[in-house]
Each structure stands twice: as structure tokens, then as C-alpha cells.
Amino acid sequence: MAETKREIERKYEVPGAPDGPFELPDLGKVPGVAEVIGKGVVELDAVYYDTADQRLAADNITLRRRTGGDDAGWHLKIPVALGEGVRDEIRAPLSAQLPRALAGLVRSRVRQAPLLPVVRLMSSRDVSHLTDADGTLLAEVSVDAVRAERADGLGGTAWTEIEVELADDGDPAFLGKVEKRLRKAGADRSGSLSKLARALDETGAGAPAPDPAAASSAPSGTAGDHVVARLRAQRDALVDLDPAVRRDLPDAVHQMRVAARRMRSAFKTYKKVLDPAATDPVAEELKWLGGELGIDRDHEVLTERLTARIDAVPRTLLLGPVRGRLRIWAVARRHGSRRHTVAVLDSKRYLALLDALDALLADPPLCPVARKPAAKLLAKSARKDQARLAARVEHALSLPAGTDRDLAMHEARKAAKRARYAGEAAVPALGKQAKRFAKRMKAVQSLLGDHQDSVVARESLRQLGIQAHAAGETAFTWGLLYGQEQAAAADRERELPEVWAGAAEATLSAG
């Protein structure tokens, strides 16, 4: 069973010979430290794994099998977008083979490539604990004498470093106080992100750096350059979010689905920039992925909405086991949708989609218009999507309330997303006006999204009411909630003309 630990640490290079002795300065003088407790020396032996082309190292991800110490086992470290030196360490018990739980977390990067030993690190670690006056641990400080060997035996290196790891729930500012003391003793912040990065560099085991010139086949500043950069960012987001979805982190499914939608939208909006014959098959697979992810995400949104509705109902109007029935309904659907999502990410079809995206971005199918300046084309494309949205909004508002209008509002919502994404994509070329444009389109999208959520909620409330009645319970509260959702949808329909008027006035100009 894997467990996760948030790791906040800083590493320092020490003066003198790389394998020479080093004594820590008196850290008892660091503000807030009452005692420095020596914990002794421990011998650690870790083998680091990666693909032959080192895909994990390229993203500052480390995977190791370590013996020695009180946390022997498999360790996977993934950077967290909270600042330098912040990573999540996912641990699994020591075993001969990589545990499935960790294998899944690197699959979006590794794909079908085998994981091979690349470097072995042997560390003699002298550990000290910094505690406050109450004996509470503030940080763990280690002086590591490291020996690194290439897995193929063709090179090695050695160095000494200091590692300061903040205690759980500690104040990150404390690390700065320790750093001042270490710097006075001659230590400097490490130039490497991790021991592995330093070992790869100094032993020559690191994979060759990619050629920046090969990142895009379009000249800088062209429409093709901007569109390909947009797609590459969303591909990277898709890969990065995969392990977060597997770990069931908050909002991960939603963000992964958004990345897929943004790529699909870009293929449609910029079909004169990228050859549709090449992008259409990929777009279809992205549509499939978004739909599969939607099963989990839509259930999450719906459950939150219904729970909030129930919380707002006066206690005197909560008749029958309303909360209990919703909880049973939500858990049953959540368990099935969660398993389904992980199965999708483990599927050959999903891995084939990631490979297809890589291939498309490695050699973008650019059309002649891709060589034109970005600003004019991006502005024109966004205005075209805005006009498309206008037609759908006007059509929806022309229909009487009911199923046909609900469907038309949903189609308008899709158009609003596409126009918003077109505005976002234009920001690097058009700046603030594109931000304003995207914000106006998002306002329309949000309103129409709330309307659609109400439509979906009403159907679920109807089913819950039927189940309650069949079980001999009163369906009064479910009917009350149904009526509230009807009223909410009507409110959104009345608000749409004013919100759309603001979006219709948004303009984009190439200069």
C-alpha cells in the first residue's frame, strides 16, 4: 500500500573536498531552536530507475529502490507547484519488482518503455533533529557523504551535501533561518535539483539535452508557432495531471478534462493552421478521453450541487432520510466512476493517444497560412468563434422554455468554451485585450454551465424521488429541490441576454 509524504527541503553544497569531513555549525543558535539532537549515522543504498532516454529525470521526477534507514522501500518523488524544493514522496514497501501503484503514477511519461537502473547512490547520512522548547521537531538536518556509480559501471563520483527537511506542518520560513546559519559556515545552495540530477551530470549518465531548435517547426512569431506552443502546453498538462488523477487529488480530473478540451478546441479553431486530415483523428480520441473523464467529474459536480441544495433547506422541510439516501446514491456512483477513470488511464487506447500527440507535436502538420504573423490570424479566429457563439445564443433565446431550449443552451455553452479558449490562446500575441475577451466569453460559459448543471440535477432529483417513493418514503423534499432547480434555470435564462450583451461587445484587433 503506497503512502504519501509532502517533502519540503533545501540542499546545500559544503566547502572543502567533496568527500572530506564536514562539521555542521552550531544550529542551536538558529532562532526558535532549543536543542540539536544527534540521531546517529545511517547507511543508505539506493538504485534509481528511469527509461533509456530518461523521461522521468527530464521532469525532475525520481524513482528509487532504497535499503537502509527507517523508510526502506520504493520511493517516487513528484514536484509540486508550490515552490522550489517541494515534492510529494509516494512510498511503497520494499519488493523485488516495482509496485503497481507506483508504476501507474509514471505511466503517462514512461508509456511502454522499460524502466532500467541508471544510477546507484550510496550515502552515509549523519542525522540531527532541530527541536523547539516543547520538544517539537522543527526540521531534520542531514550531512550526506554520497558515492554515485553508473549502473553500467562506466563512471562514478562523490560529494558531500547538507539536506534540511522541514518537519510536517512546519513553517517554510524556518528553512530560511537555518540557511542563514549554514551560509555563514560557507555552505551554498546546491546547483542541482536532486542527488540524482547531480549524479547523472557528474557521471555522464544523463541523456543528451533536447535540441531547442527542434521544439517547433514553425518560425518564431508566426501563427503556427503560437498554435503549436498552445497545444504543447496542453499536452504537457495532460501528462502532468495523469498521476494527480490516479491519486484522486482535488480538481485533477476537471483540469485534465479541460486540457483535452482546449486541444480539441484549438484543432477546430485553427483548422487553417493545422491540417485537419492529421488532427481530426487525434481530436476524436481527445473527445473520447474527455467523455470518459466526464463520468467521474460530472458525478463530482452533481454531488456537490445536490449536497449544497440540501444544506440550504430548512430542517422542517427535510422530510425522510434525505441525506442518507443522497449519500448512498453518491457513494455507489462514485465508486464505479472512480474505477472506470483509472481503467481508462491504464488502457492501451489512452497511451496510444499520448503517443499520437507526441508525434503530431514533433512534426506539426502546418498549412501555408501558419507562416503568417500570429496576431492577425489569432484575432480573426477568435472573432469567428465569437460569431458562432452569437448565432447559438440567439437561437436558444428564440425558443420557448423546455427541452429544445435546454439543448440549445447546452450547444451555446460549448460555443462559449471554444470562444473563451480562442481568447486565451491569443493572449501571448494580443495581450490584455485577449484577456478581456476571454473573460467575457467565460462569463457566458459560466452562466450557461450553471443552466446545464440544473438540467442534469433535475433528472437526478427525479430519479431520487422515484426511489424514495418506491421505498415507502415521502418524496416531498426531492420535489422541493426539483422546483428550486427549475427556478434556477429560469433565472439563468433571464440573465443570459445581459451577460451576452457584454460578451458581444468584446473586440479583438491585431493592431
Q: How confident is the model at residue 219 (pLDDT cuts 50, 70, 90)?
A: very low
pLDDT at 464: 95
pLDDT band, very low/low/confident/very high, at 235 (cuts 50, 70, 90): very high
Average pLDDT, the chain: 92
pLDDT given for residue 300 in this prediction:
82
The closest alpha carbon to 326, from 154, 445, 477, belongs to 477
Judged against a pLDDT cut of 60, whether residue 110 lies above it is answered with yes
* Assigned domain for 216 exists: no
| Co-location of 298 and 399 in the same domain | no
Whether 396 and 350 map to the same domain: the answer is no
Average pLDDT of the residues in 151-169? 92
Do 1 and 92 form a contact (C-beta atoms < 8 A)? yes
Report the pLDDT value the prediction gives residue 218, as an integer from 0 to 100: 40
Confidence grade of residue 162 (pLDDT, cut at 50, 70, 90): very high
Cβ within 8 Å of residue 338, ≥6 positions away: 248, 296
Q: Is 25 left (phi over 0), alpha (psi -120 to 50) or beta?
A: beta
- Which segment of 82-91, 267-276, 307-316 scores lowest on mean pLDDT? 82-91
- 198 and 247, same structural domain? no
User: Is the pLDDT confidence value at 213 over 60?
Assistant: no
Tell me what the mean pLDDT of segment 135-163 comes to.
94
Average pLDDT of the segment spanning 270-293: 96
- 364: Cα separation from own chain's centroid: 25
How many beta carbons lie within 10 A of that of residue 55, not counting itself? 19
> Is 214's pLDDT higher than 50?
no
pLDDT of the residue at 120? 96
Can you tell me which residue has the cell 444544506?
311
Does residue 351 lie within any of the structural domains? yes
Q: Do residues 22 and 185 lie in contact, with contact meaning Cβ atoms separated by under 8 Å?
A: no
pLDDT surpassing 60 at residue 212 = no
Same domain (yes/no): 49, 164? yes
User: What average pLDDT does this structure show over 255-263?
Assistant: 95
Q: Are residues 183 and 259 in the same domain?
A: no
pLDDT at 228 over 50: yes
**Is the confidence at residue 500, as pLDDT, over 50?**
yes
pLDDT of residue 16: 64
Let me know whether 282 and 384 are in one domain: no
Residues 397 and 359 in one domain: no
- Structure confidence by residue, pLDDT tens digits, 415-455: 999 999 999 999 999 999 999 999 999 999 999 999 999 99
Residues 274 and 378 both lie in one domain: no
Question: Residues 395, 363: one domain?
Answer: no
Confidence at residue 211, expressed as pLDDT on a 0 to 100 scale: 45
**41-60 mean pLDDT:** 95
Helices (H), 272-402: 276-312, 322-345, 348-362, 374-398
pLDDT digits (tens, 9 = 90+) for 323-368: 999 998 888 777 667 788 999 999 999 999 999 999 999 999 999 9
Banded pLDDT at 210 (limits 50, 70, 90): low
Whole-angstrom Cα distance, residue 429 to residue 19? 51
Enter the DSSP assignment of 317. G
DSSP state of 46: E
pLDDT tier, 82 (very low <50, low <70, confident <90, very high otherwise): low
Helix axes 276-312, 432-470, angle to 10 degrees: 60
List of residues 6+ apart from 485 with CB closer than 8 A: 309, 454, 457, 458, 461
CA atoms of 105 and 62, how far apart (whole Å): 12
Q: 350, 372, 394: which is the final residue of a domain?
A: 372
Looking at residue 86, its pLDDT comes to 87
Residue numbers of the domain that contains 123: 3-203
For residue range 121-142, list pLDDT tens digits in order.
Answer: 999 999 999 999 999 999 999 9
* Residue partners of 506: CB distance under 8 A and separation at least 6: 386, 436, 437, 440, 441
Q: Which three cell numbers stand for residue 431?
A: 495581450
pLDDT of residue 220: 66
Q: Quick one: pLDDT at residue 208?
A: 58
Angle at 109 between CA 106 and CA 112, to 5 degrees: 90
Nearest-5° Cα angle at 285, 299 to 107: 80
pLDDT above 60 (res 26): yes
CATH number at residue 286: 1.40.20.10
Domain membership of residue 211 (yes or no) is no
With cut-offs at 50, 70 and 90, classify the pLDDT of residue 217.
very low
Which of 227, 218, 221 lies closest to 422 in space, CA to CA?
A: 227
Same domain for 455 and 421: yes
Number of compact structural domains in the chain: 3
pLDDT at 24: 87
The CATH number assigned to the domain holding 169 equals 2.40.320.10
